[in-house]
Structure 1
Amino acid sequence: MSSILTNTSAMVALQTLKGINSNLSKTQSEISTGKTVASAKDNSAVWAISKVMESDVSGFESVSTSLATGQSMVSVARTAVESITDDLKTIKQKIVAAQDPSADTGKLNDEIGELVKMIKAKVSGAQFNGVNLISSAGSETILGSLDRAGGTVTTNTIDIAHQDMSTAASALATGTVAAGATAGNFAPAGGNKGSAAIEAGGAAGFALSGLEVGETVTMAIGDKSFSYQVSQADVDSGSDVNEVATANLYSQVMDAGITGVTATYTAGSADLTINVGSTATLGVNMSVSINAAGSGPLAGLDGFTTSNTVADIESMINGSIDAAAAFGAVESRIESQASFVSDLGDALKNGIGALVDADMEEASARLQALQTQQQLGIQSLSIANQQPQSILSLFK
Structure 2
Amino acid sequence: MSSILTNTSAMVALQTLKGINSGLATTQSEISTGKAVGSAKDNAAVWAISKVMESDVKGFSGISDSLALGESTVAVARQAAETVTDLLTEMKGKIVAAQEQNVDQAKLQTDVDALREQIKSVVAAAQFNGLNLVDGSSAATVNVLSSLDRASDGSVAAKHIGVAAQDLSVGGYVGADVFTGTDGVTATTDDAFSFSRDANGGSDDDGTVVIVDTNLAAGDTINMTLGDYAVSYTVTAEDIASTTTADVVAVGLKSAIENSGANVTVDYNIANAGTIVITNGGADSLTITGQYENAGAGGLGLLSSINVDAGNGGDPALALTNIETLIQVATDAASAFGSAEGRIQTQADFISKLSDSLKAGIGTLVDADMEEASARLQALQTQQQLGIQALSIANQQPQNILSLFR
TM over 0.5: yes
8 Å contact from structure 1 (residues 163, 296) kept in 2: no
The alignment covers a number of residue pairs equal to 325
Judging changes above 3 Å, is the alpha-carbon distance between structure 1 residues 131 and 8 closer, same or farther for their aligned structure 2 residues?
same
Judging changes above 3 Å, is the alpha-carbon distance between structure 1 residues 47 and 217 closer, same or farther for their aligned structure 2 residues?
closer
When normalised by structure 1's length, the TM-score is: 0.73
Of 300, 322, 326, which aligns to 2:332?
322
Judging changes above 3 Å, is the alpha-carbon distance between structure 1 residues 347 and 26 closer, same or farther for their aligned structure 2 residues?
same
Question: Aligned pair 1:152/2:155, yes or no?
Answer: yes
Question: Aligned pair 1:344/2:354, yes or no?
Answer: yes
Separation in 2, partners of 1:99, 1:272? 32
Deviation at 1:380, TM superposition (A): 0.6
Provide Cα deviations, 1:69-97, integer angstroms capped at 9, x if missing partner. 10011001100110111001111111111
When normalised by structure 2's length, the TM-score is: 0.71
Separation in 2, partners of 1:355, 1:123? 52
Judging changes above 3 Å, is the alpha-carbon distance between structure 1 residues 351 and 100 closer, same or farther for their aligned structure 2 residues?
same
Give 1:143's aligned residue.
145
Give 1:91's aligned residue.
91
Give 2:267's aligned residue.
none
Deviates more, 1:136-145 or 1:319-328: 136-145
Deviation at 1:107, TM superposition (A): 2.0
Question: Aligned pair 1:48/2:48, yes or no?
Answer: yes
Question: Aligned pair 1:333/2:346, yes or no?
Answer: no
Structure 1 unaligned residues grouped into runs of 5+: 177-185, 195-210, 230-241, 247-264, 275-280
Provide Cα deviations, 1:278-310, integer angstroms capped at 9, x if missing partner. xxx99x727999986634321242464323510
**Which residue identity does 1:5 align to in structure 2?**
L
**Which residue identity does 2:213 align to in structure 1?**
G
8 Å contact from structure 2 (residues 91, 115) kept in 1: yes
Judging changes above 3 Å, is the alpha-carbon distance between structure 1 residues 193 and 393 closer, same or farther for their aligned structure 2 residues?
closer
Separation in 2, partners of 1:164, 1:59? 33
8 Å contact from structure 1 (residues 113, 303) kept in 2: no
Alignment of 1:163-202 (within 5 A): 163-168=166-171, 173=192, 189-192=211-214
**Which residue identity does 2:354 align to in structure 1?**
L
RMSD (CA atoms): 3.4
Give 2:20's aligned residue.
20
Separation in 1, partners of 2:16, 2:222? 105
Separation in 2, partners of 1:216, 1:118? 17
Alignment of 1:205-354 (within 5 A): 216=219, 246=241, 285=255, 294-302=296-304, 304-306=306-308, 307-308=314-315, 309-354=319-364
Judging changes above 3 Å, is the alpha-carbon distance between structure 1 residues 365 and 39 closer, same or farther for their aligned structure 2 residues?
same
**Which residue identity does 1:12 align to in structure 2?**
V
Judging changes above 3 Å, is the alpha-carbon distance between structure 1 residues 36 and 286 closer, same or farther for their aligned structure 2 residues?
closer
Separation in 2, partners of 1:219, 1:65? 44
Give 1:59's aligned residue.
59
Deviation at 1:54, TM superposition (A): 0.7
Structure 2 unaligned residues grouped into runs of 5+: 174-189, 196-207, 224-230, 258-273, 275-290, 309-313
**Which residue identity does 1:299 align to in structure 2?**
G
Instruction: Give the percent of matched residue pairs that are identical in Structure 1 and Structure 2.
Output: 53
8 Å contact from structure 2 (residues 171, 294) kept in 1: no
Deviation at 1:369, TM superposition (A): 0.7
Judging changes above 3 Å, is the alpha-carbon distance between structure 1 residues 26 and 290 closer, same or farther for their aligned structure 2 residues?
closer
Provide Cα deviations, 1:43-78, integer angstroms capped at 9, x if missing partner. 111111110111011111111110111001100110
Deviation at 1:121, TM superposition (A): 1.3
**Which residue identity does 2:156 align to in structure 1?**
V
8 Å contact from structure 1 (residues 218, 228) kept in 2: no
Judging changes above 3 Å, is the alpha-carbon distance between structure 1 residues 121 and 317 closer, same or farther for their aligned structure 2 residues?
same
Alignment of 1:96-107 (within 5 A): 96-107=96-107
8 Å contact from structure 1 (residues 137, 162) kept in 2: no
**Which residue identity does 1:118 align to in structure 2?**
Q
Deviation at 1:21, TM superposition (A): 0.6
Separation in 2, partners of 1:291, 1:362? 77
